[in-house]
Amino acid sequence: MKKKIAILGSTGSIGESALQLISNNNFEIVLLTAKKNYKKILKQAKIFNVKNLIITDFKYYQKSLLMNKNKQIKIYNTFDDFNKIIKKRLDYVMSSISGIDGLKPTFDIIKHTKKIAIANKESIICAWPILLNELNKNKTKFIPVDSEHFSIWSEIKNINPKKINKVYLTASGGPLLNQKIKSFKNINLKNVLNHPNWKMGKKISVDSATMMNKCFEIIEAKNIFDLNYNKLDFIIHPLSYIHAIIVYNNGISKIIAHDTTMKIPIFNTIYPNNEIYTKLKNINFYKLNKLNFMTIKKSRFPIISFLKIMPKKFSLFETVVVSINDAIVNKFLLNKIKFADISKLFLNLIDRKEFKKYKKNLPTNIDQIIDLNNSIFNTVSNLIDAKKIK
């Protein structure tokens, strides 16, 4: 019997990679979703014989209805239609919608699936205890998709956290690693988007250049693996061949390595029973001989210093962090601020009383997190526009 699956965010890089790894002989794709890219998702539906689509942007939803010649394909406009589409519990869901938009559908689909692979950072950063409760309530298996978190998970999933001394996540250093710091004031968007190892969207490329993406991954790791911040660290590894290093209390350390492709962790979330990855390569000893690990310097990546003020216990402050960064990066992408302003503005804002107060508040539901995200995003955007922060 074919396994029934759904891919949330099928037109993005993670969703596309998942589809490339799926065989029509083994799976029935029940649902694909997109925000705007109706042409691509209709093409995907034709190739994989998918009967249900969700396109959330109403303008492009309407365009898809006009373009859809296959009357067997049902197109919906909101994730509220999960109950209409999913009649029986799915075997697998890939949640790869980017940004805070992915939070609610990730939460809502948990009860509809036996296993969910989550690539949406915001869900794990902002709402982990809520997601975990829903996962446990529905006995839904969770697998992280980020290469670093999947690498850690694959090694320590059955190990008591008390046996772990340290976990290192690796960072490529981004596109500006070898740029002189003095030149940062003249860095343009094209420079920032030119990542040396990974093909990423604009927002995450900027986060990689500031090292915020790696800070987010530290927060994710703290949540997923129930580790204190003092057991987590990151280190620069320009080749992106090593994805995590686990140091155990017994003196043994393990290094997790694989080629620089997201298809390997994605493949292992889809095929968990030792199936053979068709593009398997031999160990790259050339890269192993040139690991070139480097410590991350605050002078180059000042934004990392905020991790020291992160509360030990989960709170709404994680949502504040995401929202402030989203607003600032959005201004950079709109060419309203310079690259060098991103870290300065973030560190200024994160230390303000009106935002620090959220360290004492525990999120109670998904809507609360989404509302707070929208509120802080708008507040920060207005402060930047009014030049009330430097």
Strands ordered across the beta sheet of 115-118? 74-76, 52-55, 27-34, 3-8, 92-95, 115-118, 141-144
Pairing state between β 27-34 and 3-8: parallel
> How far is it, in rounded angstroms, from Cα 365 to Cα 371?
10
SS3 300: coil
Angle at alpha carbon of residue 46, lines to 42 and 51, rounded to 5°: 80
pLDDT of residue 278: 73
Identify the residue with better confidence: 313 or 199.
313
Residue length of the chain: 390
pTM (2 decimals)? 0.93
* 50 in any annotated domain: yes
At 324 the pLDDT is: 98
pLDDT mean across residues, the chain:
92
In a domain, 199, yes or no: no
Q: What single DSSP character describes residue 275? A: P
Q: Please list, in sequence order, all residues whose beta carbon lies within 8 angstroms of the beta carbon of residue 345, skipping any fewer than 6 positions away.
A: 328, 337, 384, 389, 390
Residue 256 bridge partners (DSSP): 244
pLDDT of residue 274: 67
The predicted pLDDT at position 183 comes to 80
**pLDDT at res. 284:** 87
pLDDT of residue 390: 64
Q: Please report, for the domain that includes residue 109, its CATH number.
A: 3.40.50.720
Q: Is residue 23 part of a domain?
A: yes
Residue 207 lies inside a defined structural domain of this protein: no
Over 80: is that where the pLDDT of 200 sits? no
Report the 10 Å Cβ neighbour count for 281: 8
Residue 33 forms part of a structural domain: yes
Q: Is 199 helix (H, G, I), strand (E, B) or coil?
A: coil
Segment holding 146, helix H or strand E: none
Task: Using alpha carbons, select from 118, 41, 52 the residue that is nearest to residue 87.
Answer: 52
**Domain region containing 55:** 3-145
Which of these, 215, 227, 228, 121, lies nearest to 171 by C-alpha position?
215
Per-residue pLDDT, 63: 96
pLDDT recorded at residue 199: 66
pLDDT over threshold 80, residue 236:
yes
CA pair distance 264, 258, nearest whole angstrom:
8
Q: How many domains does the chain have?
A: 1
pLDDT band of 272, cuts 50, 70, 90: confident
In this structure, are residues 231 and 165 in contact, taking their beta carbons and an 8 Å threshold?
Answer: yes
Q: Does 349 fall in a domain? A: no
Instruction: Report yes or no on 123 lying in a domain.
Output: yes
pLDDT tens-digit series, residues 124-165: 999 999 999 999 999 999 999 999 999 999 999 888 889 999
SS3 (DSSP) at 59: helix
Residue 258, in any domain of the structure: no
Q: Is residue 357 pLDDT above 90, yes or no?
A: yes
